[in-house]
Amino acid sequence: MKINPIILIAGEPKSIFFEIYFKSIKKKIKSPIILICCKELLLEAMDIHHVRRQIKILKIENLKQSKLNNKSINLVDIKLKKNLGHNQKAYINDYINRSLDIGFRIIKSGFTYKFINGPINKKYFLNKKFFGMTEFIANKFKKKKFGMLIYNEKLSVCPVTTHLPIQQVSKKLNKKVILEKIFLINEFFLKIFRKKPRIAVTGLNPHCESVLKYNEDVSIVKPAVKLAKKRGYNVDGPFSGDTIFLKENRKKYNVILGMYHDQVLGPIKTLFEYNSFNITLGLSFLRLTPDHGPNEKMINKKKSSHLSLLKALEFLDKN
């Protein structure tokens, strides 16, 4: 039986990635991990975290000819180009782009379907072209229908609108996009877990009510849920965002579909903290990422939680 390796992009050079990576690989993962990063940065981090003597590096030149294993760091070395003038952002973005491009090429070749990218500073890397990495990666693979699932085995959440300023949320809501997310969630659960998810849909407004003449919950959300039920999806709603996460409600559903980012990400992070990770729905491969950013303030302090990355690796190891 073939064990598919896991592509792991280190991402932002200035981040907590190496700390959480060294902590995570202490746990035995059956799938070999192909780490894509700068060897110079890796060695520097290994010295800081005192692991250079404990871990061997297997530098990969040709994937098909390399004997990957899960006892060494299977490294694809990406050189940091520092000859791009005095613009530090330019050479960091160049490094991240080249790292991702190599990872994407491996995925497109069919060598594996398992992909994780480490934290990336979206503010600088995406440069306002995309709202987030979810949108960036979906665009790279020419996917127009995609979603963001923050996964925990007890309860997951999915925002209908992702990294969108709050004032634009209501303008982007419609029955089609809500149904699209319900379809993507259902498709993912059937493919990975071979069962239909139980989906709760929140309303947009407080208590699903509005003092205005136009109420999105009545005009958009409720009809979308009704149509989804008619099509056979296991879905209920709309529910008020301030009560759907109560203990008794959480027992009834696998996934809560919210109308905007913080409506569902705030509660799930409060409930599970770092025990969750981000899955991009709608891709032909499994793309995961730890559910936190670069966290530059915590670099080299050796206090960062590696739980999100570890859970992502364990998930891919099983699937």
Residue pLDDT, tens place only, 180-218: 999 999 999 999 999 999 999 999 999 988 877 889 999
Distance CA 123, CA 131 (A): 9
Amino acid at site 222: K
Q: Domains plus CATH for the chain?
A: 1-143+283-319 (3.40.718.10), 147-277 (3.40.718.10)
Residue pLDDT, tens place only, 212-267: 788 999 999 999 999 999 999 999 999 999 999 999 999 999 999 999 999 999 99
Question: How much is the average pLDDT of 162-174?
Answer: 92
- Hunting for tokens 């979906």 — which residue is that? 138
Contact call for residues 141 and 135 (beta carbons, < 8 A): no
- Three-state secondary structure call for residue 229: helix
Distance CA 196, CA 1 (A): 28
Please report the DSSP string for 104-155 in residue order: HHHHHHTS--EEEE----HHHHTTTSSSSHHHHHHHHTT-SS-EEEEE-SS-
Of 78-82, 169-173, 185-189, 235-239, the one with minimum mean pLDDT is 78-82
- Hunting for tokens 């996009």 — which residue is that? 177
Question: How much is the average pLDDT of 21-33?
Answer: 92
Q: Strand ranges (DSSP E) for the chain?
A: 6-9, 33-37, 57-59, 73-77, 114-117, 147-151, 156-159, 199-202, 235-239, 255-258, 277-281, 286-290
